[in-house]
Structure 1
Amino acid sequence: MITIANEWLRAEISPAGAELKSLKRLEGQHEYLWSADPQYWAKTSPVLFPIVGALKDDTYHYEGRSYRLPRHGFARDKPFDGKLVSPTEAAFTLTDSEETRAVYPFAFQLTLRYRLEGHSITCTYEVRNPSDSQPLLFSIGAHPAFAAPAREGGPAYSDYFLEFPGDEALVCHKLEGNLVSAHTETIALDEHRRLPLRHDLFYADALVLKTLRSKTIILGNTINDRGITFHHEGFSYFGIWAAKDADFVCLEPWCGIADHVGHRQQLEEKEGIQRLEAGDSWTRSWSVNCF
């Protein structure tokens, strides 16, 4: 585990999947991330690469060949090369290998950088195409799980809310067998543009959003003043999810999305696919301000 810290926050990141495992406020030792209780969901913040969501039949076609990838790809289960850049910044890098090329025939370098500044942590995804001739086709997404703990004398899960300053309602695309369908559901927000959390919101899987306007989302509760402000820029899609009856919520900005139920499985036609030309680089970031 690699630890970065400043006078307000401490973060722990595992080289296994470059996964943020803990984000703690030093004053009072308040933990903002989910505990990874395996009874519900044993992860905390996996990176989704080189696909987001599921492929139709777990299969895609590229240049006349067929390949198989599991939901959300393979990066979350790979060992990254991690290093401490400074006391407040760490970087983790994964490059292609014979093993990855068997299921994903592209050269790539994926780096995740975590940096603390004040009461915030920023996670930056850097994708580089080291090829001198072949384009790199990929999707990438975040999946951080934030604790919404129910405690005796404290808030219940239903006391937590997500606030969307730029939206009056959420238009959710329903999933069918892990694939995006043409059916949508509109979830109204209250007069404060808030969505109160309920466990049954996620019984049918994630809320998949293609038209979210809010670039800042607040997770708070009506009992105390603890929470986060989540900021994301440059991501075309957004997911909100929790495991069944678990006391957390995932806020997931995505550059990419699961296959549509009618997709032809051609990688170049995949909705949200990113194309990076030979020698080029690509970056996106999300951040969390803790209060």
Structure 2
Amino acid sequence: MITIENEYLTIHIKEKGAELTKVYTKLDAFDYLWTGDSQYWGRQAPVLFPIIGKLNEDTYTIEEKEYTMSQHGFAREFDFELVSQSDKQALFSLSANEQTKKMYPFDFNLQITYLLEGKNLTVHYSVENLSETATLPFALGAHPGFNVPLNHNGTFSDYQLAFEPALKNSISVLDIDDGPFPFITGNNKPLALTKENVLELDYPTFDNGLIIIDEDIARVTLSSPLSKHSITLEVSEFPYLTLWTVENKQAPFLCIEPFYGLPDQVGKVGDLYDKKGNCILAPLDTKKLHFSMTFE
């Protein structure tokens, strides 16, 4: 377990998946991050790479050759190398190897840096295409879960999400197939906001699974009038923002997930190069992304 900390926060990251496992406030002595209670959801903040969501038949193609990969890709299952560490920063790295190439036939390097400054934790991603000839198709997502309520103040339905810039009375979300897996249908639909720019949380909103917001979101803040605490995510570099909690279990957490990429569209097995939302990286090029979380 890797620790970075300052006078406000203690951050834990495990080397498996370079996954965030604790965001503990020293001032008020509680953890903002979901506990990973397996009766609801046994993970906490997995990194999604090189796919997001589930593939049709767990299969995709590259130039008509089929490969299999499980939901959300393999990065969350591999031990990352700790490249460097200081009191406020930790840098992790995962490169292509024999195991990854059985699932994903590309030469890549994925680096993840956690940087702690005051009450702000920024996560930097760097995806490098190591090939001199092949382009690199990939998706990249963050999947952090947060305890709701925060510090046991109120209940889930006492909390709300406020979006910036203003979204007025509804938001455009991707339509999710009503089958057993959360594939997209290829259509959008409106989700009504309970008041301007604000989505008030309630469990029925999530009974049909995840919500993928297809809007230009710069920031989103989780808060409640019953709590002095809040979490603000700055997500402007990611084209989609996903909200999720376990369906029909009244789980005490919410995932707020910046996505660069999407689940499969329901139907036939597809080619990663043609998949909606994927990044296509030129040979020897690097894609950098970041998002930040401010804990009050």
Residue by residue over 1:48-70, the C-alpha shift from the partner in whole angstroms, topping out at 9 and shown as x without a partner, is 00001122221111123101111
Q: Provide TM-score, normalisation by structure 1.
A: 0.94
Tell me if 1:234 matches 2:237. yes
Residue by residue over 1:71-110, the C-alpha shift from the partner in whole angstroms, topping out at 9 and shown as x without a partner, is 1111111111124421100011111111110110001100
Give the Å deviation of 1:277.
1.5
Residue by residue over 1:264-284, the C-alpha shift from the partner in whole angstroms, topping out at 9 and shown as x without a partner, is 602211101111122111110
Tell me if 1:198 matches 2:209. no
> Which whole-Å CA distance do the structure 1 matches of 2:187 and 2:65 have between them?
31
Give the Å deviation of 1:194.
1.3
Which of 260, 273, 283 is the matching residue for 2:288? 283
Partner of 1:159: 158
State the aligned residue count.
289
Partner of 1:171: 172
- 1:233–1:284 contact (8 Å) kept in structure 2: no
> Which whole-Å CA distance do the structure 2 matches of 1:134 and 1:184 have between them?
33
- 1:161–1:219 contact (8 Å) kept in structure 2: yes
Give the Å deviation of 1:257.
0.3
* Runs of 4+ that moved beyond 3 A: 182-185
> Which whole-Å CA distance do the structure 1 matches of 2:236 and 2:288 have between them?
11
Q: What code does the residue aligned with 2:225 have?
A: T
- Structure 2 alignment gaps of length 5 or more: none
Equivalences for residues 66-145 of structure 1 within 5 A? 66-145=66-145
- Structure 1 alignment gaps of length 5 or more: none
- 1:155–1:223 contact (8 Å) kept in structure 2: yes
Which of 248, 255, 258 is the matching residue for 2:253? 248
- Tell me the SS of whatever aligns to 1:45: coil
Equivalences for residues 8-27 of structure 1 within 5 A? 8-27=8-27
- Tell me the SS of whatever aligns to 2:131: coil
Q: What code does the residue aligned with 1:48 have?
A: L
Give the Å deviation of 1:150.
7.5
Which of 170, 186, 191 is the matching residue for 2:190? 186
> Which whole-Å CA distance do the structure 1 matches of 2:57 and 2:30 have between them?
42
- Tell me the SS of whatever aligns to 2:52: coil
- 2:59–2:269 contact (8 Å) kept in structure 1: no
Give the Å deviation of 1:119.
0.9
What percentage of aligned pairs have identical amino acids?
34
> Which whole-Å CA distance do the structure 1 matches of 2:163 and 2:150 have between them?
22
